[in-house]
Every structure is written in structure tokens, then in C-alpha cells.
Amino acid sequence: MAEDRRIRKTRKALRDALVDLVLERGFTALSVEDVTQRADVARATFYSHFRDKEDLFARVTADLLAELDVRLRPAVRENAVGFTGRPILEMLRHAREERDLYRIVLRGEGDGKPLRMFTDACARVAAEEFRGRSERNSVVPRIDPEVLARAWVGEQVGVLQWWVEHETPPMPAEEVVRMLLDLALRGRYWATGFDAPV
């Protein structure tokens, strides 16, 4: 039990050091030694947990995605028939709590691998939900669920990236969700101020 606590404490120290240093210098400029010094962890201890700094960043991203999944699953289940916006609201709330980590992931640090991990995981969940919703409601999708999921997640990631880069969010999460809900239900044509085409 004490060892588990020590491992969690060490990993948290390494995670925090990685995030801080990437924000200060960028991922490419970092070495394992920089991270271990900032975390006050021996290099041998680092290598007992991770192969290299890329492995650490991938693990930190995987942990972020696992936390996000726990938060999103209940909200996704509520979305059984239509888009309520609750999953996006939960993602924005999580991003507010983990702002610095979201910033480095969404900026594409680490040669973009963490961003691809994030996008792929979100697209996988979205595609499953789009397929499931179609089946539950006996409808045939007009757009392939994979394409639809990638388009949907791309919009969310773009908005999320813009939102977390501000020290103070440019607008409340609830307002962002309301706008995205309107966009999802009414489309871009309506969103840009035009009436429905004849």
C-alpha cells in the first residue's frame, strides 16, 4: 500500500514537472534529466517507470483520457436520443481543471502524438455513439459515422484549444455548449446568419 502511494507520488511529480517544463520551454528542448531534476526524482527511478520522455508524455496523456472517459460515460449515456451538450460541458469542465495539461496536448507538443491519442480516443467514442444512436432509433446515417465523428471531434478540439489557451475562459462553458448545440442542430448556414436555403 505504501509502495503504491509512493509510486503515485513519483508519477505525479514527474507529470507535473513535464507539464511545467513543456509550457516553459517546449517538449523538444527537454531532456529526461530536466524532468527528473524538476520533479526531484532520481533518473534511475524515472527509468524504472518510463523508457524516455515520450513514454512519460504518452502515459500522462493516457491517464488524462482515462479520467475524461470516467467523466464522459454518464453524460454520453444521457445523450441516447439526441445531442444534449452534456458530454462537451463535462470535457470543458475537465479541461478547466487540467488546463495546463490540455494546453500542451492540444498544442501538438511531443511531435503531435499526444494530440493524435486525444483526437483518436474522442473520435472512437463519438463514432460508437453515433452508430449506437442510429441503431437504437432505427435510422440510417447519411454520413459514415467515422467521417461524422472526425468532423465533430475536430470542431470540438478546435474550440477546446481556443478556450483553454485563455487564462480566463473567453466565455462560460455553458455558453460554448449552447452555441455548439445550435450548430449541431441547425448547421453552419444558419449559424452564419442566413435563413434556411429554399
Give the CATH number of the domain where residue 110 resides: 1.10.357.10
| Domain identity same for 36 and 70 | no
| Domain identity same for 28 and 121 | no
Per-residue pLDDT band at 15 (split at 50, 70, 90): very high
| Domain identity same for 148 and 61 | yes
| Domain identity same for 30 and 90 | no
| Domain identity same for 105 and 174 | yes
| Domain identity same for 145 and 184 | yes
| Domain identity same for 36 and 85 | no
Domain assignment present for 115: yes
Check the CA dihedral 53-55-60-61 and report its sign.
positive
Amino acid symbol at 67: E
What does the pLDDT look like over 119-145, one tens digit per residue?
999 999 889 988 988 888 899 999 999
pLDDT at 73: 82
**Domain span holding position 1:** 1-50
Domain assignment present for 126: yes
Q: How far is CA 144 from the centre of its chain?
A: 23
Per-residue pLDDT band at 86 (split at 50, 70, 90): confident
| Domain identity same for 161 and 142 | yes
| Domain identity same for 66 and 132 | yes
What does the pLDDT look like over 24-67, one tens digit per residue?
999 999 999 999 999 999 999 999 999 999 999 999 999 999 99
Are 95 and 102 spatial neighbours (Cβ–Cβ below 8 Å)? yes
Report residue 2 as a C-alpha cell: 505504501
Domain assignment present for 197: no
Domain assignment present for 27: yes
Question: b/e per residue, 71-108, with b = 16+ CB within 10 A?
Answer: ebeebbeebeeebebbbbbbbbebbeebbebbbbbbbe
Domain assignment present for 168: yes
pLDDT at 76: 73
Rounded to two decimals, what is the model's pTM?
0.89
Angle in degrees, CA 67, 148, 101, rounded to 5: 30
Domain assignment present for 33: yes
| Domain identity same for 90 and 178 | yes
Domain assignment present for 26: yes
DSSP-derived 3-state class of residue 52: coil
d(CA 16, CA 24): 12
What does the pLDDT look like over 138-151, one tens digit per residue?
999 999 999 999 99
**Residue 45: in which H helix or E strand, if any?**
helix 43-49
In the predicted model, what is the mean pLDDT of residues 158-174? 94
The answer to whether residue 81 scores a pLDDT higher than 80 is no
| Domain identity same for 62 and 82 | yes
| Domain identity same for 46 and 56 | no
d(CA 85, CA 88): 5
Per-residue pLDDT band at 3 (split at 50, 70, 90): low
Domain count, the chain: 2
Are 68 and 91 spatial neighbours (Cβ–Cβ below 8 Å)? yes
Domain assignment present for 198: no
